[in-house]
Structure 1
Amino acid sequence: MNFFKLEENNTSVKQEFNAGLTTFLAMMYIVPVNMLIMGDAGMPKDALLTATAVITIISCIFNGFWANTPVALSVGMGLNAYFTYGLVIGMKIPWQTALGVVCLSAIIFVLLSFTNFRIWIMKNIPIDLRRAISAGIGAFICFIGLKQMGFIVDNPATLVSIGNVSDPKVFVGIIGLISIISFWALKLKGGFILSVIVTSIFAWVFGIYDAPKEFFSAPASISPIFMQLDILDALKLALIPAIITFFVTHLFDSVGTLTGVCNRANLFDEHNEEGTHKLAKNLESDAIASVAGSIVGTSTITAFAESASGVEAGGKTGLTAVFTGLLFIFTLFLLPLFSAIPANAIYPILVMVGVLMFSELGKVNYNDPAICVSTFLTVLLMPLTYSITVGLSIGFISYFIVKLVLRKWEDINSGIITLTLISLLAFLVTSAPAFFGKLIGAN
């Protein structure tokens, strides 16, 4: 165990195991949740469950040895929703092509992770813009969660309206939402998975959903989704904005999560060389694991904020992440149980994750007109346009315009200019073809 420098970090194998167990219980929900979300894209759920567990096991263990930090990795919430509801359902592309988009964005991340690009981004992109993106994605996945629960439905007169809350399945979703909010407010460890258990039992007892006839089985094969990514089809011009969105969102999400989790454990300081090195190693793990994830058949892999629970339980080294990964082996054998979990016991998790991401707005400096405008448009347009790409693009463009109008030249650095141009390109590729087509047709 000398590799993990346990004595140097004033910890022990027992302490690291307890921390790994705590992290595992806090993020175990990702296995059934990701199975359900990506399953909505038409992917076989049995294979998804195994793939999610496998890539989590590999990613956590890899990061434990590669970065030697107590940070657990798995399929990122938010981007898996964008994968399904933004790309596959929204843009009507095959899930194989969407996996190709994930792979390409991850390859870009890998290449740039071994450069000073991450430092350049952190120095040149205002942290409030990163917070706005996080909050916008939170609003987006919260909207998706409420819609999938049936709590929000289509309305031809007002676009959306409240659903039929007397429907037993919608009521199950409401019970799930109440329970997860309550457990979070009470700061119960493992509150997410506990909410799923409570809501599922309620639905099974009252016969709203069928209870599982068995709990354990052999792991399902991942062959239906393994190596099924279509990279060539993902190289289309129309999908460039999606690739950029996955990359930028992944970067900001990773940097934000890692900074928050590792600062709690005093693992690194972004302003010294050792701290920057640890951050770099974690970002490399994220990037490499995401490439592997697209091959296995999942969306983008990223650091989990739930790692903070393990840190608070005493986790200080990569051994915590290794134990977390090993514990996920048990989830491989829970297919019958996870398959029987009601969808509306899981969708409330999207709403709660949205709430947590939305809380980033409390740290935003609204006295800056550019930040105020860009934050508002980013957060509002992601759910309203059902697109993270549009919200992100308009956010950067509006920030640049306001700074330009106010002649705040010192705030318009190379990073802002670069991302504004990329955002403008993404917006034009997404929207301009239809616009110009109408102009040509009119003439």
Structure 2
Amino acid sequence: MQTLEKVFHLQDAHTTVKRELIAALTTFVSLSYILFVNPNILHAAGIPKGAAFTVTALATAVGCFLMGFIANYPIALAPTLGSGAFFAYNVCVGMHISWETALAAVLVASVLFILITVFKLRELVVNAIPQDMKYAISAGIGLFIAFIGLKNGQLIVNSDSTLVTLGKFSTPAVWITLFGLILTVVLMALNVPGSIFIGMIVTAIFGMIIGQIPLPHSIISGAPSIAPTFGQAVFHIKDINTAQLWMVVLTFLLVTFFDTAGTLIGMTEQAGMVDKDGKIPRIGRAFLADSTAMVEGAVLGTAPLGTSVESSAGIAMGGRTGLTAIFVGIFFIISMIFSPLLQVIPTTVTAPALIIVGVLMASNLKKIDWEKFEIAFPAFLTVVGMPLTYSISDGLALGLIAYPITMIASKRYKEVSPMMYILFVVFVIFFLVTNL
């Protein structure tokens, strides 16, 4: 216990080992779907699914260890689905680039990430973002998470006429989600410790009782070998020799840069780690952990790792230090042999947790200065942009493009830091390059 206190400063963070463990379990259960979704995405690029499963678990575990020990943040690092989809469907399938070369592009972007971090450019960017915009980023991520939860729980479904619509109550998944949501809401209202985690466990049991969640055929199985993917990124760095591939590297760099920056701001704001001046302690260490995790992920054989928004579920359960991240990493190591058990847990079980966390994060809306339109408009774009574009980085970009414009129009341009004007130019160019 003394060693844990010395490393993670639990008393200073007003937390306990038990609370960190429960928070980690909550984050792990919320994030465990990545063990099956990410391999399917990587398989579309040609990566063997078995190896992709083990790589996903191992890369996530190492990423969590890095974040826990280097930054002492209660945040998990895992392969991001947005970057994974870009890797598989845009780069490999769309551009007909081999997955080995695509991994090399991720590795090069990751090394550039480390250099940018060492020279504190990422830290300068985050600290330059105004406090009102940080509140907007946190709230926007909350709405984004809630939307994912509503979609995963099939309470919201696709519609050809209205884009989205309410799900059918004749669908069993909807009833499982509603059961979990109502249960968790009641537990939260009663201030029951561990409400979100209890809600997920009871919902899973409920689904099994009514026959909508199958019982696992076995509990333990061996983890597939990572031999097909390990080191391929290093062996194929020499293939990054065309303008097209360097554009792929740049895209990986920019998307993961701002995805991670936005998510880290949201998670640390939720955890109450941002000081009165809007600065985030140890943010440089968090960025170093993140960029190092990207390198190890590429070497192992997966698309870019990043800050997991599902970490917010654990933070909502009281996770406040890197011990939460360490526990999450341990759970992912263990998960490599418990894949049959994890495979039966559907997204409908974790959907209520994401919706509840979205509500908690949306509370930051009240902290935004809505009386000043030059603040309100870019904040609004950020908040609605994330769920509507289904991208944290795109929502962040919309807000940070609008912010200098409204501040100049209101003759408050001197209050805008030079870095914000640089970000304005970067985002405009990025949108032109990626969306034309």
| TM-score normalized by the length of structure 2 | 0.77
Q: Percent identity?
A: 29
Corresponding letter in the other structure for 2:76? S
Give the gaps of 5 or more residues in structure 1. 434-443
Partner of 1:302: 307
Partner of 1:116: 120
Partner of 1:27: 27
Q: Superposition pairs for residues 270-309 of structure 1, below 5 Å?
A: 278-296=282-300, 297=302, 299-302=304-307, 304-305=311-312, 306=314
Mapped contact 1:60–1:321 kept (Cα < 8 A) = yes
Q: Which deviates more from structure 2 when the two are superposed, residues 136-145 or residues 421-430?
A: 136-145
Partner of 1:163: 167
Mapped contact 1:255–1:283 kept (Cα < 8 A) = no
- Residues 308 and 181 of structure 1: is their aligned pair in 2 closer, same or farther, counting only changes over 3 Å? closer
Mapped contact 2:138–2:269 kept (Cα < 8 A) = no
Partner of 1:173: 177
Q: Superposition pairs for residues 391-410 of structure 1, below 5 Å?
A: 391-410=395-414
Mapped contact 1:106–1:287 kept (Cα < 8 A) = yes
1:269 and 1:407 mapped to 2: Cα distance?
A: 26
Mapped contact 2:26–2:197 kept (Cα < 8 A) = yes
3-state SS of 2:397 partner: helix
Mapped contact 1:310–1:320 kept (Cα < 8 A) = no
Partner of 1:80: 80
Mapped contact 2:207–2:213 kept (Cα < 8 A) = yes
2:249 maps to 1:247: no
Q: Which deviates more from structure 2 when the two are superposed, residues 17-26 or residues 334-343?
A: 17-26
**Displacement of 1:117:** 2.5
Deviation string for 1:61-84 (max 9, x for gaps)?
A: 4445445x3x344235xx824335
**Displacement of 1:338:** 0.3
1:10 and 1:181 mapped to 2: Cα distance?
A: 28
- Residues 430 and 238 of structure 1: is their aligned pair in 2 closer, same or farther, counting only changes over 3 Å? farther
Corresponding letter in the other structure for 2:335? T
2:365 and 2:263 mapped to 1: Cα distance?
A: 15
Corresponding letter in the other structure for 1:24? A
Instruction: Specify which of 119, 130, 137 is matched with residue 133 of structure 1.
Output: 137
Corresponding letter in the other structure for 2:347? A
Corresponding letter in the other structure for 2:305? T
**Displacement of 1:212:** 1.1
Partner of 1:369: 373
3-state SS of 2:216 partner: coil
**Displacement of 1:375:** 1.5
Deviation string for 1:82-133 (max 9, x for gaps)?
A: 3356775699759958867765554443222222334422442212223323
2:267 maps to 1:257: yes
Partner of 1:378: 382
1:386 and 1:90 mapped to 2: Cα distance?
A: 17
- Residues 61 and 47 of structure 1: is their aligned pair in 2 closer, same or farther, counting only changes over 3 Å? same
Corresponding letter in the other structure for 1:302? T
3-state SS of 1:250 partner: helix
Mapped contact 2:41–2:84 kept (Cα < 8 A) = yes
**Displacement of 1:259:** 6.6
What is the root-mean-square deviation in Å for CA atoms of aligned residues? 4.1
Q: Which deviates more from structure 2 when the two are superposed, residues 422-431 or residues 195-204?
A: 195-204
3-state SS of 1:160 partner: strand
The size of the alignment, in residue pairs, is 416
